[in-house]
Structure 1
Amino acid sequence: MRIGIITGSGTYALPGFEDAAADVVATRFGEVPVTRGRFGGAEVVHVSRHREGHVLVSHQVTHQANISAFAEAGVDAILSVTVCGACDPELPLGSLVVFDDLHFLVNRLPDGSICTLHTEPGAPGRGHWIFDDPFSEPLRAALLAGALDIGHPVRDGGCYGHVDGPRFNTRTEIRMLRQAGVTCVSQTAGPETVLAGEAKIPYALLGYATDYANGVKPEDPTPVSELVRLVAASTGTFAQALTAAVPRIDAAAVRPNGTAFAWD
């Protein structure tokens, strides 16, 4: 089984990646630098969504190209990680969250275009992604087990809220998201979730809470220095959790999430 792994802010390379080799995958949406090798005992293709040195900030991430590169590379499943701001005041900072729902109402890419791989009229495969749950349950189970294996605090379930960057959100915006049931927010994983669904690649998302979003704890807001510290700390935690999770993936149970209804 070939696994795709996407990492974000603070994690530009995977610690413990064996036989790592840089490569470039060409897609119709552009070229994507990837690293191929072995990780957690499996064949892995790694994409750093912001690229080394955080060259791409959130509104510049090439989501369509990244997911298309995984399809071109023949990955069977994608595990993605993101640092995020907690909308739930009861979620301890530094905790992991294995998300089971998505809030991404705008369904748009950073350039304002609709978030989809179906960009050409009449192209084969054009249609709709229809689902009950946006994240793969077998992959969620592996991520949860991996976090428990390393003894790290983890929440099973939560709603991931995608917000546009690169700015952070106002108190009013976060209050609205909290009322909608959002657990954590960040600026990149909404498009990944949708595009992986359209590409028929099972996908799951692991979050790491680095701060309380604006207004969540008005009496004790998270200092920027603490956010920066936790972003740095997330690298090791993500690497350990993913190393433990990858061998726990039940390859026989993993299948595309939902239905890609095509008009062909």
Structure 2
Amino acid sequence: MRETRGAAFHSADLGIIGGSGIYAFDGLEDVEEIELRTPYGDPSGPLVLGTTGGRRAAFVPRHGRGHFIPPSGIPSRANIYALKSLGVREVISVSAVGSLRGDFAPGDMVVPDQIVDRTRGMRPGSFFGDGMVAHVSLADPYCVRLRPQLEAAADVVHPTVHDAGTYCCIEGPQFSTRAESELYRSWGMDVIGMTALPEAKLAREAELCYVALALVTDYDCWHPGHDSVDAHSVAEVMAANVSAAQRVLAEFAAATEPASCSCHRALDGAIMTDRQIIARASGAPVPTLLRDRVAPVT
């Protein structure tokens, strides 16, 4: 991996991935910007490092500055790899979502606890493969240790925060049809978006804690009393909530400290491939930053 200013001098323990409308993180102190290249290509953009709430954070805009990367084109492996390479152990994902229930209103915040995958397999969703197989647990896709802490930070800042919800992740970039929206509601989905996956899967494989702050912007297209969602309305609501989201992140950083977690041991027992096969494999198909966790038998 190449970094334009020398990676040894840069580190962070908190990672922040900004979604639609959040292309920068105001309020950071001691700011520096770095460019990283990973084995999985370039991240969505330069990473911005700074201090907030006494913690060193690394920020990356998921869709790139100016929003030029579509959901299916987000380099999630590069983003997660870059954050881990900086020493990040905890990641907060911020994203816009539509509501699939009447009591999750536009302007509300949600700290989801579950995800349902409705993408189409077009997005690389694993660091493993091509000679090495790993099956990590994703029963609880969001870190059960960090979720209550993020919800508590949001409660300090925002009047309406929902402490759980199932995120339905669709492929996009189009919004849902009315039939799809009603189908997801009948399944008990709570919010809908396009970016939670494969981020959550990759963060687990990289042994990072991963939580989400979802900002409700609309009622998708199911609600008879509201207009169907469009990009303009999403952008308007997000613009009104960017400041609140950034205050939540600052509050979270000030109220928490890095701590050990079961997420940091997600690969324990997950590697199925015989270590002798790994040892003989040409090119050692082991993600570089995980090599110490899956060292082959020699």
The structure having more radius of gyration, on CA atoms, is: 2
1:10 has 2:21 as partner: yes
Q: Whole-Å Cα distance in 1 between the matches of residues 262 and 35 of structure 2? A: 26
How far is 1:229 from its partner?
Answer: 1.6
TM-score normalised by structure 2 residue count: 0.81
Change (3 A) 1:143 1:38: same
Partner of residue 32 from structure 2, selected from 21, 28, 32? 21
Q: Which runs of 5+ in 1 are unaligned?
A: none
Change (3 A) 1:4 1:82: same
Query: 1:201-223 CA deviation, whole Å, 9 max, x = no partner?
Result: 110011010000112x1232256
Q: Whole-Å Cα distance in 2 between the matches of residues 115 and 107 of structure 1? A: 11
Matched residues, percent identical? Answer: 28
Superposition pairs of residues 1-264 of structure 1, within 5 angstroms: 2-32=13-43, 33-106=46-119, 108=121, 112-122=122-132, 126-215=133-222, 217-222=223-228, 224=230, 226-252=233-259, 254-256=261-263, 259-260=266-267, 261-263=270-272, 264=275
Change (3 A) 1:106 1:168: closer
Query: 1:204-261 CA deviation, whole Å, 9 max, x = no partner?
Result: 011010000112x123225645433201112111101111112223533544178331
Change (3 A) 1:114 1:10: closer
Q: Do the aligned partners of 1:22 and 1:34 also contact (CA within 8 Å) in 2? A: yes
Q: Which has the higher contact order (CA 8 A, sep 6+)?
A: 1
Amino acid at match of 1:77: E
SS in 2 for 1:193: helix
SS in 2 for 1:235: helix
Q: Do the aligned partners of 1:100 and 1:133 also contact (CA within 8 Å) in 2? A: yes
SS in 1 for 2:148: helix
Q: Whole-Å Cα distance in 2 between the matches of residues 107 and 165 of structure 1? A: 10
Change (3 A) 1:259 1:92: same
Query: 1:122-159 CA deviation, whole Å, 9 max, x = no partner?
Result: 3xxx3011143111122111211111111431001000
Q: Whole-Å Cα distance in 2 between the matches of residues 63 and 194 of structure 1? A: 10
Amino acid at match of 2:128: H
Query: 1:131-188 CA deviation, whole Å, 9 max, x = no partner?
Result: 4311112211121111111143100100011111211110111122112221111111
Q: Whole-Å Cα distance in 1 between the matches of residues 16 and 183 of structure 2? A: 31
Q: How many residues align?
A: 257
Query: 1:81-133 CA deviation, whole Å, 9 max, x = no partner?
Result: 1011111122121000000011115473xxx15521114223xxx30111431
Amino acid at match of 2:23: Y
Amino acid at match of 1:41: G
TM-score normalised by structure 1 residue count: 0.90
Change (3 A) 1:151 1:186: closer
Q: For the aligned residues, what is the CA RMSD?
A: 1.9
Higher strand share: 1
SS in 2 for 1:142: helix
